[in-house]
Structures are given as C-alpha cells and as structure tokens.
Amino acid sequence: MARFAFRRLAAALLTVALVVSITFVLAHLAPGEPMLADAERFHVDPARVARVRAEFGLDRPLATQYAMYLGNAIRGNLGESFTMRRPAVALLLERFPHTALLAGAALLIAFAAGIAVALVQATRPGSWTDALLSGATLAFHSTPTFWLGLILLVVCAQWLGWLPVGGMTTPVEHQAMGAMGRMLDVGRHLVLPALTLALVQTAEIARYQRGALLDALGSEFVRAARAKGLAERAVLVRHALRSALAPVVTLAGMSVPALLAGSVLVESVFGWPGMGRLTRDAIVSRDYNLILAAAVASAVLVALGNLVADLAAHALDPRTTL
Amino acid sequence: MPRRAFSALLLLSLAACLGDRASRAPAGADGGTLVIAVPGDANILLPPVANQLAAHVTERLFPRLAELKLDLNTVDDSGFTPVLARSWEHRDSTTIVFHLDPRARWQDGVPITAADVVYTFELYRDPLTESPYRVNLDPIVSVTRLDSLTVAFAFRRWYPEQLYDATHHLLVMPRHLLDSIPHERLASSAFARDPVGAGPFRFAHWEPGTEIAVEADTGWFLGRPHLARIVWRTMPDVSASVSALLAGEADAMEFVPPPDEIERARKAPDLTLVPYPSPYLGGLIFNLRRPLFAGRELRRALAMAIDRETIVRSILGAYGEAPVGAATRMQWIAAGPVRQLPWDTAGAARLLDSLGWRRGADGVRQKAGRRLEFTVITPTTSRIRQGVAVLLQDQLRKAGAVIRIQPLELTVFDRRSHDGDFDALMFSRTLDPSPANLVQFWGSASVGGDNIGAYRSPAFDSLLAAAAAAATRAAAQPLWRAVLERLNDDAPAVFIYSPRNNAAIHQRFQHVTIRPDSWLATVATWSVAPDRRLPRDR
C-alpha cells in the first residue's frame, strides 16, 4: 500500500509539473498582453505598461520567468492576479468550494442516473426500451453543454418558473433565511447547472454500466445465484451490480477533467461563481498567474480524482491490483 | 419623428424628470431593491483602478466635488450640480477654488476635508497607483488646501473644461483611512474590497463572482436615496441575463443588445425599455502608415462606396444609427447638421478611376500591378463588428476592392491595434461626454498611443486647438462642427454605427432617469411605489 501511495504521489507530482510547464509556455507564447485587456476603453499609457511588466517580471527572458515561477511555486507562492491584485491561490480557494459542490452534485446525479438507466437497459437488452434509453442518453451526450444549459434555463426557469435562472443564492432574501433555508436556497440554484453537467456525463456512465452488467449477468456466479432460487431483483442488485460497479467507478476519476472543462461553460451560463468562470476570465484577460494557478489546481484535482477512483475500485473488487 | 428631434426630446424629458430629489417621491416611498444583471465581476473597489463594473459601484460610494447634469454640457459651469463642493469660483484664469460642504462626512463619521481632496488628486496622479485615469488630470498642475474646507485647483492654462476635469475624473477618497498604505499596495489592500465611502450608498457586501451590494446611507448629507439597496448580480451570459429579467430575478440591465435580446425583453409585460443616447461608436479605421492608405483620396473613395444606413439597418435594425462623424448623439458637439461624405458609388468609382485604380478582368481594381486588396482585423468577441465587416466586404467588392476579414481573439486584436500591425480594423470606442477625446483619438500628438491609425493633420490639430479654447458652448459648437467635418473630409476612418442604447428596467421603479455616460448617475432619485414592492424590496 505504501509503495502504491508513493508511486501515485510521484506520478501526481510529475503530472502537475508537466501541466504547469506546458501551460506556462503556451500562456506566454499566446499573443496578447495582460495590460491591454481594456485597451478599447482606457487610454494605454506605455510607461504604465512598462512599469507593470517590470513589476511582474514580464520584461525578463521567458526562461528566467519560468525559473522564477517554479522557484516561487515550490515555496507555495503562485503569484498575484494582474487584474484583481490578490494572491491567485486565495482567489481560487474562494471559488473552489463552489466548483466542488457543482461538480460533486453533477457526479452524483450522473452516476445515479447512469446506473439506473443501465439497470433498466440490462434487464431488457435489445428491447425498444433499451434502444430508446440509449438514444436519449446519447442525444444528451452529443448536445453542446452550453446549449443544453440555455435550453434548461429557458424551459425550467423562465417559462415554468420552477427553478432560479442563475447565481448561487437569492439576492437579499438569502441573507434573511435561517441555516436550513439557506441550504435549500443554494440547493435550488444548484439543480440546473448540476443537471446540465450531469446529463452530458450520464450517457457515458450508462453505456459502460450496461456493458458491465450484461457481462456480469452472463457469468457463472450469477447463474449460481439464480440456481439458489434468489429473486431476479436480488440477483441483479446484490450480485451482478456489485461486480459490475468496479470498472464504472474508475470512470469517476476520469470524469473529473470533463467536469472541470464543462464547468467553465456551465458556470458562465448559470452565473455560478466557481473556478471555471474565474479561469475563463483569466484566460480572456491574459492573467498569467491566475491561469497557471488554475492549471495547478486542475492538475491536482485530476490526480486526486484518479487516486480516489483507484482506491474505490479496489475496495469494491479486491482482486484489482493497486 | 426625425431622429435628432427624438434625441432632443428624450434629453429634455429626462432633464425635466430630474427635478428636486426631495420633492419627487411621496412619503413612505423609501425602500426597494434594484437588482442589476451585469456581465462580469468587479476587479477592485478602488476608484483610480476600478474596471467598468467596479466603477458603477464606486460611483455610488464615493462622491465627486460636482456632478454633470443630464445634458452633459462639459463646457459651462451651469452644466454642473454641487455635490461635495457646496460652491466654487474661478479665482483667476488658471485657478478654481472649491468650498466643501461642512455637512459632508465619511461613513465612519469623520468629516470630509480639503486634505481628502488633495490626497485624492495625488493618489490618482501617482504613477505607482497605475490609474488609467491619470492622463485626464494632466492639465492640472496642483491641488492645494487653503483651509479645512477650501481647496484650490491650479491649471497649466485656461480652457473651458477646467471644471469638468477637476470634478469628473476624481472620486474623493478618505485620506485618514488610506494614507498609511503605500499607493502601489492600495489595490491589494483590505479597503479595496471593503471600502468606506461618503456617497449616497454605503458598501454592504461583495461575494466574488456572485454579487456586490450597497445600501442606502440614510444619513447622507444631501438626503437619503429612495432605494434601500442596489445589488449587482453577475450573469456572464447575455441570454441568461435577459432570462433573469423575464423571470423577475433581476430588475435591470444597462444595455440590452439589439436586436434579438431587445425583442425578447420587449415582450415582457413587467419591463420597460428606456432608450438613451449611446456613448459607443464603431467603424473602420485605416492604418495610414500603410502606403495604400497614405493618400486621402483613396480613403474618401472607399468611404463613399460604403452605404452606412443599410449596414446599420441590417445589423442593428431600429436600434442604431449612422453617426455624424467621430462623435455620438450623447455628446453635445454632435447636435445639429455636420457635413459628411455622401454614399455615392458612382462618385466613388469616378474617384478611383481618376486615381488610376482600374477594374481588372475579375472586377477587382488594380494600379501598377497592385490589386486594391487589404485585410480588416476584427475581434471575435464582437458579433456586431464581425457582421459589419461582412457587409463592408460585400459593398467594397462592388466598388472593386477586396477585403479579407481576419477575426482575432480580443487580446491579440488589442495588441495588434496598439502596435499598428494592421491594414484596417473594425474599431469600437466608448466616448466621454467631453469632446476632448477627439484629441486623444485623432490628434497628431496621440500617434503611437490612442491614435492607432496614425492620422496626422496640422490643419485638424489647429481646428482642435481652436475648438477646445472656445469659452462657451455656443461659441464652441461651430468650431467642433468644423473639427468633425474636417475628419469626415480626410476620412482616416469611416464612422459606421452607433447603437441606440436601451436599458431594461422593471416597471415597479419610478422616476427613472438615465444620464447617458453613466446610467446610474441619478439612481438615488429612483424609487419603488410601496404597493408594488416585492419580498426583496422590504
């Protein structure tokens, strides 16, 4: 176990280092300039641009900048945002809980829905229900996240008025609510963005789960369970599903990058104050330090996600090697 | 109704609506929450370095010495209303002395004094503060405290917009809370996220990425605002913002983009669309560093080949107009007729022929083996500019010119426009009420800076200087008209469109007036009738 932990930690560090290096080079090679982000609105004073460049070390050779950045990063200093003049780490930490809540809720919905759909499909393989569910989930999977979000928003929030259009809380009224009221308020605001992210993921999970379930249902231990006279529901849930969950759980780890990428768009549509939107804004304004800090955070989250998925798969099926 | 008459009527009606703040709302009218959907988040709540959204907030928190009235007359003293300064006088041709209102207090109870005004000027002027507004204060030599409530502004020379420069660019800041912080660290200080002001509203809270809220200062020395609070809700997607308005989750939007979103908003029974003159101007700038555009006649011919009215109708529908030149209807200098190059395709063809640009077999004009062909860069973020570029491409093709459209990511576009690395570009400017931005964008001294097309004309510069020195608005008007006409004649750019702004505001808000350069300038006079209040208004 200790060897496994060491191996994964080393791999995670290597991943983070690679991501930072590649992002650093790409961000700095991309044309554009942080100080010109508002050039059409404000007078651009060349002296001011030069001063800010010097202050942030942007006037030095790229290799020097890279070495300085790595040196600072190792000491835990990921620099200050150009646009907001605050430590990039503080800005990300402020937003991280929101993205974690959104991604976590989306993951839960996606897995619950994906497994439920797969259970229905696996018990009726080749039927109309199977084909219909495959088609429906595939349709959601093929829909651009941005567009799906807007459709859900217009239908569920604007036309039907069931859920809020955007944001994370109800303005003014949220402050007057009790603890339970506040939680429910956040929950109502969470439904649409989480559902948008989840619907895109559901198809993939359902597809994997359906295949794994069909394999399991054809295996000898399931035949043995049936021969013992167990009810079909018990066979399906207690035996086949438990065995078929392990490969699907690894999908959870692989879903983290997709959820982070999807959150960039979903957070913009629904005004959800998460890391994705912060990262998008940082890229638009060429806020290098914030872009790099977001890349570090994403790499760490992806590495963690994979680690957790491996451990969960091992817990579900001890035959899998760590 | 002719557009100009409509604009004049609109301004007059807005001015008529302003009236006396205290007499407008009936008893019990104080209260109500204005939730504004905004596309982005504030950067820093510190006026010298505030971005566009942060400026909307800080202008509610920090007062000016005096405010522009609704007609945006930047020249005469009569165009200003006292705020922090109870009165002022021109002591001589280069000095204005302001007398501060002794009732004015910071929201922590400390009186506002001349030392605060001096500190504020020094803060804005210090290069370490990195304020983009610093350049606007160049004409001011010094600001001196004469006594605790009297402060003198000294100018380099006499000019009619001295009062505008002394008041409009400076939001007065509390010296007693800030002078221990080095200027270069102010933007990252706690004050920049939790400011103490002296305006009609006080800071309430800021949840990054979600909302910023301010609340009425019920003890404000000029009378409390009628609204209890204002909340800016971040909604990055425009369609989602309009949906929030339609669903009643937001009350207002500064600018509803035409034409699709306006049509959506128009259908909502609870919303009012409030039109107001736009500070935005867009068009095509030629890069005069390029030999192709160095000659005035070719630029004029291309300008004459462009049917601006059709472009505006196609892209903005009824929500835009072809401007009179390098000014929008928001600016007083754009009132009245201004000579422009006509849309005259036959005339353009004759001019091009006379310049030696002859049509080739493919219809494209050529001269000495060179095709009349150039690239127009446009930012990918602006659907309007991309649409205009496509129509330009079609119209100029008919005149025998080929343009290649190169969409660029915004920061790349900004970099290339700043470096002069383009043939022509689709520009968009947000103009100030003052005509001084004509100097900034077109004056020879600004080449290498904001005059990105490198237009140089001593004759134009002389006209600018004469107009800027005119003592009164009446005297200045014909001179500024001559400036605009000269620019139209020289055609360093084609001024194609200016959107007609429409703010969307929930109908329960009363006494709504909009100052075109700063749409919330009069928000302290807005109110909500007690019988129309929503739960969030109470």
DSSP code, position B363 = S
Indicate if the pLDDT at residue A317 is higher than 90. no
CB-nearest partner of B210 from A33, A91, A167: A167
Task: Compare A30 and A196 and report the one with higher pLDDT.
Answer: A196
Provide the pLDDT for residue B16. Answer: 37
Residue-wise pLDDT tens digits, B34-64: 999 998 888 889 999 888 889 999 999 999 9
CA distance A318 to B295: 80
Provide the pLDDT for residue B18. Answer: 36
Residue-wise pLDDT tens digits, A162-181: 999 888 999 888 888 899 99
Q: Which of A53, A56, A160, A172 to mutate to test the interface with B (most CBs of B within 10 A)?
A: A172
Task: Compare A40 and B514 and report the one with higher pLDDT.
Answer: B514
Indicate if the pLDDT at residue B308 is higher than 50. yes
Sign of CA dihedral A84, A88, A92, A94: negative
CA distance A137 to A139: 5
Q: Check if A157 contacts B (Cβ < 8 Å).
A: yes
Provide the pLDDT for residue A42. Answer: 54
Indicate if the pLDDT at residue A73 is higher than 60. yes
Q: SS3 sequence, B383-397?
A: HHHHHHHHHHHHHHH
Residue-wise pLDDT tens digits, A283-305: 888 888 899 999 988 888 888 88
Indicate if the pLDDT at residue B22 is higher than 70. no
- Beta-carbon contacts of B221 under 8 Å, excluding residues fewer than 6 positions away, are B101, B103, B104, B105
Does the interface predicted TM-score (ipTM) exceed 0.85? no
Q: How many helices (H) and strands (E) does chain B have?
A: 17, 24
Residue-wise pLDDT tens digits, B174-188: 999 999 999 988 988
Give the amino acid at A67: A
Give the amino acid at B465: A
Q: Check if A168 contacts B (Cβ < 8 Å).
A: yes
Indicate if the pLDDT at residue B9 is higher than 50. no
Q: Which two tokens stand for residue A80?
A: 């200050």
Indicate if the pLDDT at residue B12 is higher than 70. no
Provide the pLDDT for residue A231. Answer: 81
Conformation bin of residue B248: beta by default, left when phi > 0, alpha when psi is -120 to 50? left
Residue-wise pLDDT tens digits, B377-406: 998 888 889 999 999 999 999 999 999 999
Residue-wise pLDDT tens digits, A207-217: 888 888 888 88
Indicate if the pLDDT at residue B190 is higher than 70. yes
CB–CB contact A40 B427 (8 Å): yes
CB–CB contact B415 A32 (8 Å): yes
* Residue reference for tokens 């079609």: B394
Chain B: residue whose CA lies nearest to A169: B210
Q: Check if A173 contacts B (Cβ < 8 Å).
A: yes
Q: How many helices (H) and strands (E) does chain A have?
A: 13, 0
Indicate if the pLDDT at residue B104 is higher than 70. yes
Chain A nearest-CA distance from B247, in A, is: 5
Quote the distance between the C-alpha of residue B282 and its chain's center: 13
Selected residues 70-99 of chain A with any CB under 8 Å from a CB in chain B: 80, 83-86, 91, 94-95, 98
3-state percent breakdown (helix, strand, coil) of chain B, nearest 5: 35, 25, 40
CB–CB contact A270 B240 (8 Å): yes
Mean pLDDT is lowest, of A41-45, B154-158, B425-429, B446-450, for A41-45
Mean pLDDT for chain B?
Answer: 90
Chain B nearest-CA distance from A300, in A, is: 23
Q: For A5-29, what is the mean pLDDT?
A: 85
Q: For B78-98, what is the mean pLDDT?
A: 95
CB–CB contact B414 A36 (8 Å): yes
Residues of A in contact with B235 (CB under 8 A): 165-167, 271
Checking DSSP bridges between strand B320-321 and strand B201-207, what pairing results, if any? unpaired
CB–CB contact A150 B239 (8 Å): yes
- Beta-carbon contacts of A198 under 8 Å, excluding residues fewer than 6 positions away, are A105, A106, A107, A108, A109, A110, A113
| Angle ∠(B199,B201,B202) on CA atoms, nearest 5 | 95
CB–CB contact B536 A170 (8 Å): yes
Selected residues 223-262 of chain A with any CB under 8 Å from a CB in chain B: none
CB–CB contact B414 A39 (8 Å): yes
Q: Which of B279, B115, B124 is nearest to A45 (CA)?
A: B124
Three-state SS for B202?
Answer: strand
